[in-house]
């Protein structure tokens, strides 16, 4: 009799997590303050409903900023990862790291996405549709999110900086020009775009690593935008020279914008199109950013230490 009762207790204990998984997902309510939901918000966020297609406020929304969970305010998606899919709901091809949890629906056919912080229902994720290069679509209910413009997000996190990467010939001159730009916190000479980890100057100079001489620009988005920096880049070197820059000839001196997001790529492509419409034959490459390797100390702040000026990098207004 005792063995039989023990077996029943064990089976009951094992069944509890299964029942939770197969029913509505419980939300983490412990020691947290959550926003009070309207009946319609609760229908979608708590009871896993779906808003009507093309009815959500963020379906055709394209402002720069961040999308947060409507219930707990956790940041979920960046606007740079939002794209138009035509499905009737906001679509994203990436999420902020660790912000979204995936679970298989009870029917085993679709994958639900939930806020990783509070378990709020967001929508579903689909793969293999070939709608973007990342080949992923997060189909999200607008009502599950609250949008915060980039300016508001920046004001909530004072002092936060961003990074941009450019290659325009000898990095001494590019670094010198960016270091004097308003809103730039620092400019560092280095190498990007190659295959070898932590390359040396001599290796890059010899063309054995595939790296370009590049500059990492740390900037304050509240004082200068990425587009302003990209425009400045096209005006401090010759973006039409295809074999190097000035007297510096070779692949390591090629002109390139290394983008860190789809939004940065779109900005670079748009600026190149503007210059080409003006008659410039642009040679600048637009490439995804990879690891940035700082150059040796003797390359940093070169012109400042020497008390001289760049020999092939000067400002020329082109826009």
Query: pLDDT at position 188, please?
Result: 95
Query: pLDDT at position 63, please?
Result: 86
The Cα 283–Cα 70 span in angstroms is 45
Query: pLDDT at position 12, please?
Result: 32
Question: What structural domains and CATH numbers belong to the chain?
Answer: 33-153 (2.170.150.20), 159-306 (3.30.1060.10)
Query: pLDDT at position 301, please?
Result: 94
* Residue found under tokens 């939901």: 37
User: pTM for the whole thing?
Assistant: 0.53
Based on its alpha-carbon atoms, the radius of gyration of the chain, rounded to whole angstroms, reads 26
* Residue found under tokens 């293999």: 128
Query: Given 72, 115, 170, 312, which residue is catalytic?
Result: 170
**What is the per-residue burial (b if ≥16 Cβ within 10 Å, else e) of 136-173?**
bbbbbbbbbbbbbebeebbeeeeeeebebbbbbbbbbb
74 close to 68: Cβ distance less than 8 angstroms: yes
185 close to 219: Cβ distance less than 8 angstroms: yes
Q: Taking Cα atoms as reference points, which of 160, 157, 131, 147 lies closest to residue 64?
A: 147
Query: pLDDT at position 38, please?
Result: 94
Query: pLDDT at position 4, please?
Result: 42
* Residue found under tokens 């000067």: 314
The Cα 235–Cα 239 span in angstroms is 8
Query: pLDDT at position 186, please?
Result: 95
The Cα 131–Cα 137 span in angstroms is 8
Query: Given 69, 115, 118, 139, which residue is catalytic?
Result: 139
- End-to-end alpha carbon distance in the chain: 88
H-state helical runs in the chain = 2-22, 39-45, 150-156, 171-179, 201-205, 226-235, 262-277, 302-306
The Cα 104–Cα 120 span in angstroms is 15
Q: Is 72 a catalytic residue?
A: no
Q: Is the torsion defined by CA of 44, 48, 54, 58 positive or negative?
A: positive
Q: Taking Cα atoms as reference points, which of 112, 103, 111, 120 lies closest to residue 44?
A: 120
Query: pLDDT at position 154, please?
Result: 44
Query: pLDDT by residue for the chain (319 residues), tens digit each?
Result: 433 443 433 333 333 333 333 333 344 443 346 888 999 999 999 999 999 999 999 999 988 889 999 999 888 999 889 999 999 999 999 998 888 999 998 888 999 999 998 999 999 999 999 999 999 999 999 999 999 887 554 444 456 899 999 999 999 999 999 999 999 999 999 999 999 999 999 999 988 899 999 999 999 998 999 999 999 999 999 999 999 999 999 999 999 999 999 889 999 999 999 999 999 999 999 999 999 999 999 999 999 888 888 888 999 999 8
Burial of 62 (0-12, 13-18, 19+ CB in 10 A): exposed
Query: pLDDT at position 16, please?
Result: 35
Q: Is 312 a catalytic residue?
A: no
């Amino acid at each position: 009799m005792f063995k039989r009762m023990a077996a029943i207790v064990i089976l009951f204990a094992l069944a509890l997590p299964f029942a939770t998984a197969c029913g509505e997902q419980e939300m983490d309510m412990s020691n947290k303050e959550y926003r009070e939901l309207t009946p319609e918000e609760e229908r979608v966020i708590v009871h896993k409903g779906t808003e009507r297609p093309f009815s959500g406020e963020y379906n055709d929304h394209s402002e720069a900023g961040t999308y947060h969970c409507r219930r707990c305010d956790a940041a979920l998606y960046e606007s740079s990862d939002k794209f138009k899919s035509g499905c009737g709901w906001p679509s994203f091809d990436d999420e902020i790291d660790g912000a979204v949890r995936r679970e298989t629906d009870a029917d085993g056919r679709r994958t639900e996405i939930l806020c990783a912080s509070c378990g709020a229902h967001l929508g579903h994720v689909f793969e293999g549709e070939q709608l973007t290069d990342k080949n992923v679509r997060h189909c999200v209910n607008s009502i599950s999110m609250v949008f915060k413009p980039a300016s508001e997000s920046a004001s909530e996190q004072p002092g936060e900086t961003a990074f941009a990467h450019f290659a325009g010939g000898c990095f001494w001159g590019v670094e010198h020009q960016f270091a004097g730009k308003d809103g730039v916190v620092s400019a560092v000479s280095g190498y990007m775009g190659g295959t070898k980890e932590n390359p040396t100057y001599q290796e890059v100079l010899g063309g054995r690593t595939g790296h370009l001489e590049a500059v990492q620009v740390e900037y304050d988005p509240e004082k200068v935008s990425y587009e302003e920096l990209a425009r400045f880049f096209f005006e401090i070197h010759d973006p039409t020279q295809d074999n190097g820059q000035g007297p510096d000839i070779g692949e390591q001196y090629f002109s390139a914008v290394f983008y860190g997001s789809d939004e940065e790529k779109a900005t670079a492509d748009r600026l190149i199109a503007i210059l080409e419409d003006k008659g410039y034959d642009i040679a600048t490459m637009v490439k995804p950013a990879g690891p940035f390797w700082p150059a040796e100390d003797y390359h940093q702040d070169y012109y400042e230490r020497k008390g001289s000026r760049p020999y092939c990098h000067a400002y020329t207004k082109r826009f």
